Structure formats: structure tokens, C-alpha cells
Amino acid sequence: WIRQRHIHIHKRSNIMVDNIIEEIKKGLNGDKYHDVKYLQHQADVYKNHENAGEILRILSEMTFDLVPEEQKEILRKTMFIKGMRLDEAFSKANDFVKEKKIEKAAELLGEIEKHADEYFSDTDEKLLLSLRNPLDEYIYMQIFKPEKKHDRTPFDFSHYLSAYGYLLVEMRQYDEAEKVLKKAIKYNPVNVEPRFELAETYKVQMSPDKLIECIKETLKIARTPYEIARCYCDLGYYCVEIKDYDSAVCFYYESLIYAPNDAITGELHHIMSITKKKIVPPLREEVLAAFKKYDVVNGPNPEVYNVAYSLAQYCIDKNAGPEEILYYLRITYDLTHNPEVKELLDKYEEMAKDLKNE
């Protein structure tokens, strides 16, 4: 699989950030409890924005100002390292990566890992998780059925530690990478990012048994055709490693149903060079037999798309904005191609277009 192995930090004008912050401020009502929760929600909304670093910095400062004085010292201890908030430290690590200062980036990310261990570990009563949004939350509850209650961490430690694990793989520190990536999975069991990176670790460690278990666990939570395709591609890689070339061909072709991948052509040529047999598209029964052979369910997990559809229906019932409804409908339709979902999708896309034109 051709992986995009870099971390981006984009910059736009200060005017754009100022406009966003001014719009956010309109939602404050003077009640400190409400305003803190509101700002935390806004931080989640904008965490993937191209100017996320600056927006999150301002939102953190606004939130900090609302906290009672006696709690500020505790927050300074738990949310800062080396004079920087943890999100700022992560952005700094990104800067080091851009400057090709990999060891400095890894050192700073290692500090974030230690800080997370010290201040954001599970307790006997509760789990501390970095679930990113309601979809994460409900998929987690549906699939993992946790016995303990959970609280949300103020930072996305799953993402931070995934980035650290990636750097450790690049530095060929595979055992340490495996430990860090498992922590990233612990913080968010429904985030595919650290699981894909863990699969890469098992590839270079030549641990096929660990690899296939990792792939199976990732398939349970995959929520896009791309993620499913990547899992099937990894299954093909696994089968090549154990010399089951016929099954590898099945998995590679099945991967192409979900997402295009030019690299698969090279993989199929590699198999042909080993087996000296012409590669032909497998019959459907051959594909299904390969899935059964390795105890892998073919297709997306119904629990995932049922959760997405339920959230779409909830948003419709609550008269939420069309963009929020579309987010869940697109996930559902991409996984199911259900014509009834397509009708809803078309309807709310038209509504979103009309609102944009007003």
C-alpha cells in the first residue's frame, strides 16, 4: 500500500482565524460551565482545520481564562510540558518533522507519551479515552461493550501516539513502536490510524500471526471503502508471506472493488513471477472461500454502518444542520450503496447547496 507518511501544518491568513474565533464567541452565554463545554466542543469541530494549531491555541486560552483560579495550577501541571500546552507541543513536533529533525520530533513526542502516562491513565472507576466525535463514541460502545464508564481526554492522545509510533518505525525501533501504538489504540480503540501503523510494524518484524490478528481487528471498525481496501490489501500481503498465493490474489482483487490502488498491479506481477502462472481474476466463490479460510467476514461490519445510519436519523429527527446529517449518510451509503440512503443523501445535499447559495 502506498502510504502518505507525513504530517501537515497549513497556514492561512490571520483574518480567517479571527473570523472563526469571532463566530465562536457568539455562542458564549456567560455561564462558565456552559462556556467551557461549548469551547471544548468547538475545539473538536476545528481540530482538523488547516489552521487548527492557531485556533486550538486561542480556544485553549479562552477555556483557561474561565477556570477558577484554584484549578489553574492543576491545569498547568496536567496540560503543559516544557512551557507548551500539549497541543502546541504536538504542533512543534510536526514542525521538527517538516524540518527533517526526526530525532527532535521523536524526543518531544516521547515527552507527550510520558505525560499522558502520568496524568491521563485509566483509574479503577473510569477509562480515559480520546474518542473524537459521536460516531467514535457509539461505534466504541456498540462493538466493545465496555463495562467501565469513560471520560474524554482533553487532547487526542491516540493521534499523538500514532505519530510517535510512526516515527519510531522510521527509526527502526520496532519493539518500542509496537508498545506506543498499542497505547494509541487503548486511547481510541476505533481509530484505524494506529492499527494500520501497527500492521506495518508487524510486516517489518516478519510477524504474520500478529499481522493477521491486527488486520481482523481493524476490519471490525473500518468505516470507509478506503480503510476496507487497505485491510484486504494487507491480507494479500499476509498470504504472500505465508505462500498462499491463490488467496493473496483473491484478497488483492477484492481490495480493488473498494478502492483503486496502482501498487496492486506490482503485487500481482510479483506473485506471477513466483508461481510462474498467469494471474486471472478469481471467481466469486473462490474469493468467498479465501475469506472463510482465514475466518474473515467479507464486506463492511454492519455494526459500523448501522451506527452511522442511526446517528443520521437522530440528526434528522432533531432538525440538525444538513452538513451534520450528510456526514453520517455519506458513511452509510459508501458502505452499503442502499438506494433508500441514496435518496436521503441527494435530498440533504440539495438542502446544503441551497443554504450555501442563500
Compute the distance between CA of residue 215 and CA of residue 145 in angstroms, rounded to an integer.
20
In the chain, which residues have pLDDT < 70?
1-14, 47-50, 52-53, 70-72
The pLDDT value recorded for residue 119 is 93
The pLDDT value recorded for residue 45 is 77
Among 254, 241, 335, residue whose Cα is nearest residue 290: 254
Q: What is the dihedral of CA 212, 215, 217, 220, to 10 degrees?
A: -130
pLDDT in tens, 325-336: 999 999 999 999
| Cα distances (angstroms) measured from residue 345 to each of 34, 124, 145, 311, 338 | 33, 43, 30, 14, 10
Compute the distance between CA of residue 39 and CA of residue 16 in angstroms, rounded to an integer.
18
The pLDDT value recorded for residue 33 is 75
Q: Where do we find the cell 491521563?
A: 120
